Amino acid sequence: MQTRQTAAEDAGESLFIPVVLGSVRKNRRSFFPARLLAEQVAAAGHRTELLDLRELRLPMYDEEEETERHTAVVAFKESLGRSDASIWLSPEYNHSFTGAIKNAIDHLHDELRRKPAAACGLAGGVSGGIRASEGLKTVLIELHAVPIRESVHFGEARTLFDAQGTLLHSEFVHRIDTMLASLVWYARALKWGREHLPVPQRQRG
């Protein structure tokens, strides 16, 4: 049987797909799901990095030169700038994605342009953070990212992992891999497009 690594290598070069973790809360439940997303990217033969907004501690976007030179801002932009695709995970806070994610996005300019993005949600209830992920997609569009249809929604977040971070619901591996297969397809198609096709004039207004 062919391994996932071999399948990825056969289909083309390994891609760089960072995972942005948008929960900065002390006792957050999003860490284990974000780590699982990154593990599945690596298991599929691609390179990844967990861009953990709690660790990065990005300053508030204010257009000050000092802020733009901030080590965390530079590292965040650099990582997404060399990405082929990105995965975003946000818990649902007050029917939206987190303020930390919005601030992180406001620091970006053209790093996600014409690259696919998968938006995933998490919530304590059954909704799985769908309002967070759907809202995030509409914001990512403004950066000329290409949000894909597939998402993974980590509902009932309290029961998904044990205290050591072991996944208790194995069906999530399949859901992540299905999303990832689509993301990689778009990443390859859009990479080819960026390299071979002229970009249409930017719409004003």
Half-sphere exposure at residue 78, Cβ-oriented, CA atoms within 13 angstroms: 8
In this chain, which stretch among 20-28, 47-55, 61-69, 174-182 interacts with ligand FMN, using CB under 6 A? 20-28
Instruction: Tell me which amino acid residue 93 is.
Output: Y
Look at the alpha carbons of 96, 99, 101, 105 in this order and tell me if their dihedral is positive or negative. Answer: positive
23 binds ligand FMN (CB under 6 A): yes
30 binds ligand FMN (CB under 6 A): yes
Choosing from 59, 81, 124, 193, the residue that interacts with ligand FMN (CB under 6 A) is 124
In this chain, which stretch among 46-54, 61-69, 88-96, 100-108 interacts with ligand FMN, using CB under 6 A? 88-96
Spatial distance between the Cα atoms of 142 and 154, rounded to a whole number of angstroms:
25
122 binds ligand FMN (CB under 6 A): yes
Choosing from 16, 32, 76, 93, the residue that interacts with ligand FMN (CB under 6 A) is 93
12 binds ligand FMN (CB under 6 A): no
3-state secondary structure (DSSP) of residue 90: strand
Nearest CA among 157, 151, 147 for reference residue 112 = 147
Instruction: Tell me which amino acid residue 47 is.
Output: R
Nearest CA among 193, 183, 194 for reference residue 81 = 194
91 binds ligand FMN (CB under 6 A): yes
In this chain, which stretch among 23-31, 48-56, 134-142, 173-181 interacts with ligand FMN, using CB under 6 A? 23-31
Please give the structure tokens belonging to residue 69: 């030179």
Choosing from 7, 125, 138, 142, the residue that interacts with ligand FMN (CB under 6 A) is 125
134 binds ligand FMN (CB under 6 A): no
Choosing from 5, 11, 29, 106, the residue that interacts with ligand FMN (CB under 6 A) is 29
Rg over alpha carbons for the chain, rounded to the nearest Å, is 17
Helices (H), 120-170: 130-142
86 binds ligand FMN (CB under 6 A): no
Nearest CA among 146, 147, 83, 88 for reference residue 120 = 88
Choosing from 7, 25, 165, 192, the residue that interacts with ligand FMN (CB under 6 A) is 25
Would you tell me which residues interact with ligand FMN (CB under 6 A)? 23, 25, 28-30, 91-95, 122-125, 127, 157
